[in-house]
Amino acid sequence: MATSHEYGMRGNAQIGYAVGAAGSRRVGDFNPSNQGLKMKKILVAIFLSAVPFLCHAAEPSQESIEKLLTVTQTQKLVEQMIPQMEDMMKSVADKEIDAQKLPPEKSAKAKTLSASITKKMTAILREQLSWDNLKKIYIPIYRDSFTQEEVDGLIAFYSSPAGNALIAKMPVVMQKSMAAMQQLIVPMMQEMQKATAQAVEEMKKQAEAK
């Protein structure tokens, strides 16, 4: 299939040929009917060269985007994600406290304080990631990213059994993914803390050496 550029080149060639043919006749050969025919050819050539630039993909309507967000149950997935994030933050914080091997009383106080902070952070997440806020973000992004044909195709897929299965199982996939990430995050944060402590110690030694 020819590209828009190739069509444009062909159109320009057609224009050039038509204009050249029109200009190659001597003045004495002037014939009104022939000139009219030549003018039609030039206009057709101009139209054909412009077609590729006029045939832009249709922008998806807001109604179709909202339907896509509905069939993909995006709001439900977001609302399910926040409690999972809260559980992950609490689990990571508790493991960090346990890794410090504090006395039982201090460990309990630290976990209570950590839980309070996590609840405040979750409240902020719920407020900032409310569906009203996210919908305002999603719609223009979808409009800029997809054509109407693509949105219609996605709606058809997510309305199919395979699409429904993907939607139904995605929360479980996300939950397992977050659980697996915890196994990476905790040791990573411990290593980062060690690196930070070492850097602070080196800075102290350099300051004392001066």
pLDDT grade for 172, boundaries at 50, 70 and 90 = confident
Say which amino acid occupies 34: N
Q: Is the pLDDT of residue 30 over 60?
A: no
Q: Is the pLDDT of residue 70 over 50?
A: yes
Kindly report whether the global pTM for this prediction surpasses the value 0.75. Answer: no
- The residues, any chain, with a CB within 8 Å of residue 116's CB and separated by 6 or more, are none
pLDDT grade for 148, boundaries at 50, 70 and 90 = very high
- Write the burial class of residue 163 (CB in 10 Å: 0-12 exposed, 13-18 middle, 19+ buried): middle
* Mean of all residue pLDDT scores within the chain: 77
Q: Could you tell me the sign of the dihedral formed by the alpha carbons of 115, 119, 120, 124, in that order?
A: positive
Mean pLDDT of 125-146: 91
Number of neighbours of residue 184 by Cβ within 10 angstroms: 9
pLDDT in tens, 81-133: 888 788 888 888 888 888 888 898 988 988 899 989 988 988 988 888 889 99
